[in-house]
A = this chain, B = another copy of it.
Amino acid sequence: MGNETKIPAPTIERLAQYSRPLESLLESGTTVISSEKLARLCGVNPAQVRKDLAYFGEFGVRGVGYDVADLLAAIKKILGSDQEWALCIVGMGNLGRALVENENFKKRGYRFVAAFDSDSRRVGTRLPCGLTIQPISRLKEEVESLMVDIGVISCIPPEAQRAADLLMDAGVKAILNFSPAQVRTPECCVVQNVDFSVKLENLVYHLQKIEETGRPG
């Protein structure tokens, strides 16, 4: 693709989704998949799959399909998920503890290298993953020395912006925010907000359609 091509954010989001069934197919020995089948596995329409993949060059053979291994490798390369990334996490309540043990993260090369909490009762606790919870006051030094790429925020909403500021001050350019509070960052940084209730709102829309018509909307 040309460097000047701006890839729409929803396309980027769908590429990661496409990679999930491709991984399963590769594991099960399937070598070729049609855009129709890939679309069905991902819950999008086939034209969307073809359009999204067209941004990145010619992956498929018309009437045959995509080579599963080639397509998966290409998607991983585009997304940068063929590399290892170092993560730290701020906020070690139930959610933080669940995240550092997340199998999907580990499997995909996202490695937690430090965990912080502002609550002195949590500091010093050794986690099953091997990390020990550190005080927020250690964040800058640790993040710099461990060369953390991505900061994960799972603290309470009133502390989220401060956590983001500390992370950015320590040189982190990418934040995954699980707190319900929106965090503001300068343009040179990127934030993904994860709001579970957004998914629920999608779900109830379709649930209403099922109740009205017997099928999702």
Question: Interface on A for B, CB 8 Å cutoff?
Answer: 6-7, 9-10, 12-13, 15-17, 19-21, 24, 43-44, 78-81, 83, 85, 93-95, 97-99, 101-105, 107-108, 110, 149-150, 157, 173-176, 180, 182, 187-190, 192, 194-208, 210-211, 214-217
- A80-B190 contact, Cβ under 8 Å, with A13-B202, A16-B202, A199-B176: no
* Neighbouring B residues of A107 by C-beta, 8 Å: 197
Complex: chain B residue closest to A209, CB-CB:
B190
Complex: chain B residue closest to A99, CB-CB:
B196
Among candidates B15, B16, B99, B204, residue contacting A80 with C-beta atoms closer than 8 Å: B204
A96 CB to nearest B CB, Å: 8
Among candidates B93, B204, B215, residue contacting A79 with C-beta atoms closer than 8 Å: B204
* Neighbouring B residues of A105 by C-beta, 8 Å: 196-197, 200
A1 CB to nearest B CB, Å: 12
Given contacts A105-B200, A174-B203, 18 further A-B pairs with CB under 8 A are A7-B217, A13-B198, A16-B201, A20-B198, A83-B204, A85-B204, A93-B98, A94-B94, A95-B98, A103-B157, A110-B200, A150-B200, A173-B210, A176-B196, A188-B215, A189-B216, A192-B200, A192-B203
A187 B215 Cβ-Cβ under 8 A: yes
B12 A217 Cβ-Cβ under 8 A: yes
Residue contacts A-B, CB under 8 angstroms, 13 given:
A7-B217, A80-B204, A80-B208, A93-B98, A94-B95, A95-B98, A103-B180, A105-B197, A110-B200, A187-B215, A189-B210, A192-B200, A194-B199
